[in-house]
Amino acid sequence: MNFFPPFPQDNARIGLLGVAFDENSSYLRGPAQAPGKIRSAFFSDSSNLWTENETNLGADGIFADAGDISPSQACMPAETEEAASRLHAAGLKVFAFGGDHSVTTALVKAAAQFHPELTILHFDAHPDLYDNFAGNPHSHASPFARIMEAGLAKRLVQVGIRTMNGHMRQQARRFGVEVLDMGHWREVFAMQFSSPLYLSFDMDCLDPAFAPGISHREPGGLSTREALSIIQSLKANIVAADLVEYNPAQDQPGFTDMVAAKIFKEITARMLAIK
């Protein structure tokens, strides 16, 4: 489903990719339905297309939309990486949305080919560092283990974490992950992020009171405003980003989809603000 000008598009700056995939979810399915819902919410007449820094996302020359992919479980890594690589190769920044968090491994792989020395800023309730989860090394609970062991990022910073356990703490030490749990999330404001930056936004970093349409409702998270403040404070060149784990099957229409669209708008505004 294409709501934006289709790729290829002259002078566009951000390539969009919907990822309709949730087969690596460990608990509930649903994030495969996210891309269409987020597109609709983005254009909902209940809001407008301007961001808080007064960027008009409805203007020409911003987005080129590659549409949605809905790969099988076996084909997801290759198909997702290829679709994202096509956008990077056209000189675009890449914003991917929808899907469970397992898609991030393929998206980071694509970004790392074009931008070596990536730093990743990862918003999540969960560290997603399991060596494997329930026998699945490609589980949505494992992408950052796969990314770090493949050396796809030189630095990984996690914010919003509130489900750390012994195994994942070991993994975090092994990979040198900088974990800001909910007792320390404000320390992110003092961090310098060297370019280029990959931003991965798991919707469950937010408190479920703000965004109930997710698969794992973990209380005690960031408010929507706190997450937006972090995004808006970033002084880094964000070359690629994803917005994952929105689960429409767990949502009330017009609730978490609007939050996802808001986060979408503010992340892309930040991508446009700094080259």
Q: List interacting residues with Mn ion (CB under 5 A).
A: 101, 124-126, 128, 202, 204
> Is the CB of 202 or the CB of 257 nearer to Mn ion?
202
CA 142 to chain centre: 15
- Tell me the closest approach of the beta carbon of residue 37 to Mn ion, in angstroms: 18
For residue 5, is it left (φ>0), alpha (ψ between -120 and 50) or beta? beta
Neighbouring residues of 217: CB distance < 8 A, sequence distance ≥ 6: 204, 208
Per-residue tokens: 222: 């960031």
Neighbouring residues of 109: CB distance < 8 A, sequence distance ≥ 6: 77, 81, 150, 152
> Is the CB of 125 or the CB of 243 nearer to Mn ion?
125
Nearest to 160 by CA among 90, 259, 230, 241: 230
- Tell me the closest approach of the beta carbon of residue 128 to Mn ion, in angstroms: 4
- Tell me the closest approach of the beta carbon of residue 143 to Mn ion, in angstroms: 7
- The one-character DSSP state at 85 is H
> Is the CB of 23 or the CB of 202 nearer to Mn ion?
202
> Is the CB of 85 or the CB of 247 nearer to Mn ion?
247
> Is the CB of 63 or the CB of 264 nearer to Mn ion?
264
- Tell me the closest approach of the beta carbon of residue 224 to Mn ion, in angstroms: 16
8 A C-beta contact, residue 144 and residue 174: no
- Tell me the closest approach of the beta carbon of residue 115 to Mn ion, in angstroms: 22
